[in-house]
Amino acid sequence: MLTPSHPTVNPFFTPFEGSIADYSLPDKFPSPFNYIPHPLSLPAVEMLQLHLETQQDWQHNFGLSDEAGSVIGKMFGVLVVRTERNEIGYLAAFSGKLAGGNHHARFVPPIFDGIAKGGFLNAGMIALSRMNSEIRMREDQKSESHETQVRNLKVLRRNHSVSLQNEIFDQYRFLNQTGEECSLRKIFVDASYKNPPAGAGECAAPKLLQYAFRHNMKPIAMAEFWWGLSPKSDFWKHGHFYPACREKCAPILEHMLSATETYAEPTLS
């Protein structure tokens, strides 16, 4: 198995050590919707999985031990890249949050950190919570004047919620390999969606490509796998590979890979 070499300047890039002559590089970047990852991504997956099994920096209940608490399996991804220094290695990412946070060693940062201290999202959610409390209080005080106040408060709450959601969407701007940037809302409007689905931009694949393009790295191959038990569906299996999701990721990746040569998407039976 390939192992990390000496630390590089970039803390999120893990280089392969030794020769990769036994692995042929793909002529084009394979489609992220392939179910079978390119062989070159497998050493990166092994290295990342070993890290998940041995790291001591954070705790997350994947359901693989007797740890108490809610079980939350997680999708992870690796992106094999070539750097400007002509090094070949990989980047790693997780979907959503991991161990309650967005930032962990070895994993690329989120495109937008919604839980950052002092951010607008925290202030917006506090305001929304206050509106909810006031609505509940006035609903308990049954009178005609209070009913009118409740209706007005619900209109304010809806407008505030829509405005806050749109402000969140506007923080997500995705690059392609030429540096062209496109907003989340425009991407989904162009794809004939009314609004982006919840969690769009939080999956591993967009995080990986965004970091690679921002740091002038050329993507070579990608693989995503599920780690842990799934509390919601039997579909997700520990250690199994899965393609990028279509509902949240397909429109985003269409833009992000628009300047990258890719294979044709596989025909799904």
Give the CA diameter of the chain: 79
Query: pLDDT tens track of the chain, all 269 residues?
Result: 454 444 457 899 999 876 777 888 999 999 999 888 999 999 999 999 999 999 999 999 998 887 767 888 999 999 999 999 999 999 999 999 999 899 999 999 999 987 777 666 677 777 888 888 888 888 877 777 778 888 888 888 888 888 888 888 888 999 999 999 999 999 999 988 888 988 899 999 999 999 999 999 999 999 999 999 886 767 889 999 999 988 899 999 999 999 998 876 554 43
% of the chain beyond a pLDDT of 70:
91
pLDDT per residue as tens digits for the range 50-73 = 999 999 999 999 988 877 678 889
CA 172 – CA 185 distance, rounded (Å)? 9
Query: On the CB side of 116, how many CA atoms lie within 13 Å of its CA?
Result: 12
Q: How is the chain split into domains, by residue range? A: 118-177+247-263
